[in-house]
Amino acid sequence: MSARNPWVAGLLSAVVPGLGQFYNRQAGKGAGFLAGFLALAGFLIGGVDVNALEEAVAAGTVPEGVWKLLVLELLLLGLFAWSIADAVRVARKPRP
């Protein structure tokens, strides 16, 4: 089996978590990262009340539920970092 390019694997996972794993022929792991990304992104998008956010910003106050959004954003960022690091690590491994 031919070696995978770690740069390509990392870049693909930076675009969408899980793509680097699919590139490394790890479909199950790629599907897991992709599902986690879609779930977190869905929770993040669904948890934003744009009108309340605009009103709070205009009033100079902290929006209600901002901590939940921060936690979701940090989890999403962590998932991206984990996916990139894993894709690069696996691509660097010698293939049998």
- Position 63 in a domain: yes
68 lies in a domain? yes
Domain containing 75: what range? 6-92
Q: How many domains does the chain have?
A: 1
pLDDT > 70? residue 2: no
Residue 25 lies inside a defined structural domain of this protein: yes
How far apart (Å, rounded) are the C-alpha atoms in residues 80 and 21?
A: 12
1 is a domain residue:
no
Q: Does position 75 have pLDDT exceeding 80, yes or no?
A: yes
What pLDDT, on a 0 to 100 scale, did the predictor assign at position 56? 86
Q: pLDDT per residue over 34-67, tens digit each?
A: 999 999 999 988 887 878 888 888 998 888 778 8
Q: How far apart are CA 30 and CA 21, in angstroms?
A: 5
